[in-house]
Amino acid sequence: MIRKKLPLGIQTFREIIEEGHYYVDKSGIAVRLVNEGKYYFLSRPRRFGKSLFLDTLKELFEGNESLFKGLAAETRWDWSKKYPVLRISFGAGVLGSVADLQQSLHQQLTTMEDQFLCAARFLDHRSRFKDIIVHAAKSTGQRVVILVDEYDKPILDRIEEPDIARQIREVLKDLYSMIKDSDAYIKFALLTGVSKFSKVSLFSGLNNLKDITLDERYSDICGYTDADVDTVFAPELPGLDRELIREWYNGYNWLGTSVYNPFGLLQLFDTRKFKPHWFETGTPSFLIKLLEKRQQFTPDLSRIVASDTLLSTFDIDNIPVEALLFQTGYLTIDSVRYTPGRLTLTLKYPNLEVQASLNNCLLQSLTGSQTKPETQMNQLYDLLISLDFAGLKNLFHTFYASIANDWYRKNEMSDYEGYYVSIFYSYFAALGLHIQLEDPTNFGCIDMTVLFQGHVYLFEFKVVKVRSRGQALKQIKERNYAQKYKNRGEPIHLIGVEFSKASRNIVRFEVETLPI
């Protein structure tokens, strides 16, 4: 097997093909889009290959046949026609104000005017954009293709400053309305971004877009499938644990085929190290602040239920946590329930990279410390390896005792129970362990099941007003929770954890290990 160049950070289709990089063929999907519709919208998380897909479309419409030799589009495209392509991108840099956005638009529109020899006859951006569309169509004899990359980034760059974000939104809304207004001159249009703003807030003038974000036929329009990894990237696999690759980087799903994040996978092949490559490229500070403000019970993040309508609802003044987590790639679709006129989705972490990294960030927020969680996680891992349950109890007891009283007053989550359990859960989740919450059995639900290094850990949590008589452990035993896992032939540890609101700490931590 011959290894090729890794397309690290390359978003240009021509460079990938001409320089001999690995390429996962998406040209067939591009042809299908063109054949089946005209106006499209696609939402995908950052660094997921949206820009490369748009560039593939650009080369396709411009008729650069030589780049598609051996690819799906080669025999499925009419190469005799070449279309004028107008491409707008807000992916570079941070646009901090309306003035910054207007300067970016001026620069991009000027480039288009020069390209199509269109004299700038108007001062406002929407009129210039409309004029370029009409001129390009008439001068070439072909309708125009419009590709907009990171259409929402100027708004997201200022989402923590609502007044500025609203001003930026209105400028973009005005610009995008010209696409519908120019219908007679347009062959094809695709807008991509991270978020899906409501049609009322941003697309009221462009309400004819077909949203393919949750179309199962296009679930793999960006990203790599398992089959891609096993074929295209086969030369990179020797020396890496194939199942671990899947657990760490696969799992993103939009109602169809699950995919890997391209950035994370390519970084793994380059560094040969399992790290949170994608997560480290952008700390979700706004998301963490929002979760903290809304007192989010962190175990619920791995089992959120929401409608497809809610997940596609996003605006400056209305930001559902579920929509934000889903659109930014920190949660993905686990299961679907169809009822007449309604689609209900259950969400989960896409993979261990996101589970571990997001919970690490959440721990820093929950504890008010950026350094303490890392030390505690290392200790937790070592204690689990050595099966030191006394040390495990002391670790959490010491940790809770060190949290300042002011922090508790800020975090009165479900009378402290949610706060206690959130921290307990997030430590295990941040280690990248396999965790099942509300684990169903024939006798009830186990609060938390952890599978690690050939051992099964069954946790039951309770908040008590006074020191109890081991009610948590008693419940695990009386309801025979362990029965579900006995056929694994592994040691099963029953762990009852009880918290006291009065002492703000663990008051009972009991362990009973069942023989194999």
Does the residue 18 lie in any domain?
Answer: no
Does the residue 444 lie in any domain?
Answer: yes
What is the chain's pLDDT, residue by residue, as a tens digit (516 residues)? 789 999 999 999 999 999 999 999 999 999 999 999 999 999 999 999 999 999 999 999 999 999 999 999 999 999 999 999 999 999 888 888 999 999 999 999 999 999 999 999 989 999 999 999 999 999 999 999 999 999 999 999 998 899 999 999 999 999 999 998 899 999 999 999 998 876 656 676 666 789 999 999 999 999 999 999 999 999 999 999 999 999 999 999 999 999 999 999 999 999 999 999 999 988 778 888 888 777 777 888 888 898 888 887 778 888 888 899 999 999 999 999 998 888 899 999 999 999 999 999 888 887 777 788 888 899 999 999 999 999 999 998 887 776 655 444 555 544 456 777 888 888 999 999 989 888 888 888 899 999 999 999 999 998 887 666 788 999 999 999 999 999 999 999 999 999 887 777 888 999 999 988
**Token duo for residue 485:** 């896992």
Residue that is last in its domain, among 218, 245, 265:
218
Q: What distances in angstroms separate CA 1 from CA 231, 232, 233, 237, 245, one per listed residue? A: 11, 10, 10, 11, 20
Residue that is last in its domain, among 195, 218, 241:
218
Does the residue 33 lie in any domain?
Answer: yes
**Of all helices (H) and strands (E), which one includes residue 186?**
strand 186-193
Question: How many domains does the chain contain in total?
Answer: 2
How many CB atoms are closer than 10 A to CB 234?
A: 12
State the residue range of the domain holding 372. Answer: 368-514
What's 408's domain CATH number? 3.40.1350
Closest Cα to residue 144, out of 110, 105, 170, 115?
Answer: 115
* Residue 405, C-beta contacts closer than 8 angstroms, at least 6 positions apart: 504
What's 151's domain CATH number? 3.40.50
Residue that is last in its domain, among 189, 218, 247:
218
How many CB atoms are closer than 10 A to CB 361?
A: 21
Measured CA to CA, the distance from residue 312 to residue 449 in angstroms comes to 32
Does the residue 382 lie in any domain?
Answer: yes
* Model confidence, pTM: 0.91
Does the residue 164 lie in any domain?
Answer: yes
